């Protein structure tokens, strides 16, 4: 018995193929009350972000005003209108992390990655963001890369952490 594993071909999809998949998602969930966030989440997963053109497409398919779609996209920090990097670095700026050096961590990451907060590196490898609190106050200052938490970070540790990615 042979087992074949399929690798993801998402990055090889054409723009039209992505829109077709998003249209299928919309059709599947359109009649489910309160499904807008779920549709947007899946659309962002397929497309990588939610640019205005895609928001218009979703609004038309759902028969909703574009302003409603854009309002949800701009309200929730999870959604983005520009492509994010392969890895998302979030620096905690909650009170404990801020007081213990969160701002210095941001400055060092900006230097290492050559990108401002909210931006993505030229190679598409990293997106740098801040977050208000990750709930690891006793481990401050803390950062996350994707879903991994790094505790008691200082600027000198950052090159080693970044090199892992």
Residue 66 sits in the same domain as residue 105:
no
Per-residue pLDDT, 147: 85
Task: With respect to residue 81, please indicate whether it lies within any of the assigned structural domains.
Answer: no
Residue 69 sits in the same domain as residue 102:
no
Count up the domains in the chain and report the number.
2
Q: Going along 20-152, which residue ranges are E strands?
A: 87-92, 126-131, 143-145, 148-150
Residue 93 sits in the same domain as residue 68:
no
State how far the Cα of 24 lies from the Cα of 60, in Å rounded to an integer. 14
Task: With respect to residue 4, please indicate whether it lies within any of the assigned structural domains.
Answer: no
**What is the per-residue DSSP string for 9-24?**
-GGG--HHHHHHHHHH
Residue 14 sits in the same domain as residue 40:
yes
Structural domain of 114? 87-163
User: Which of 2-11, 112-121, 134-143 bottoms out in mean pLDDT, i.e. has the lowest?
Assistant: 2-11
What average pLDDT does this structure show over 64-87? Answer: 92
Output the average pLDDT for the chain. Answer: 91
Residue 138 sits in the same domain as residue 92:
yes
Task: With respect to residue 80, please indicate whether it lies within any of the assigned structural domains.
Answer: no
């Amino acid at each position: 018995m042979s087992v074949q594993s399929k690798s993801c071909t998402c990055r090889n999809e054409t723009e039209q193929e992505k829109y077709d998949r998003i249209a299928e998602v919309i059709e599947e969930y359109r009649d489910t009350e309160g499904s807008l966030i779920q549709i947007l989440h899946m659309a962002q997963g397929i497309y990588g972000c939610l640019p205005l053109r895609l928001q218009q497409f979703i609004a038309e398919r759902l028969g909703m005003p574009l302003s409603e779609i854009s309002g949800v996209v701009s309200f929730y920090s999870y959604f983005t209108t520009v492509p994010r990097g392969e890895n998302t670095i979030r620096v905690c700026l909650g009170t404990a992390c801020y007081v213990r050096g969160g701002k210095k961590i941001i400055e060092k990451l900006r230097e290492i990655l050559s990108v401002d907060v909210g931006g993505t590196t030229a190679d598409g490898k990293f997106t740098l963001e801040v977050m208000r609190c990750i709930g690891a106050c006793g481990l401050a200052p803390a950062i996350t890369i994707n879903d991994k938490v790094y505790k008691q970070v200082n600027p000198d540790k950052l090159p080693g952490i970044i090199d892992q990615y």
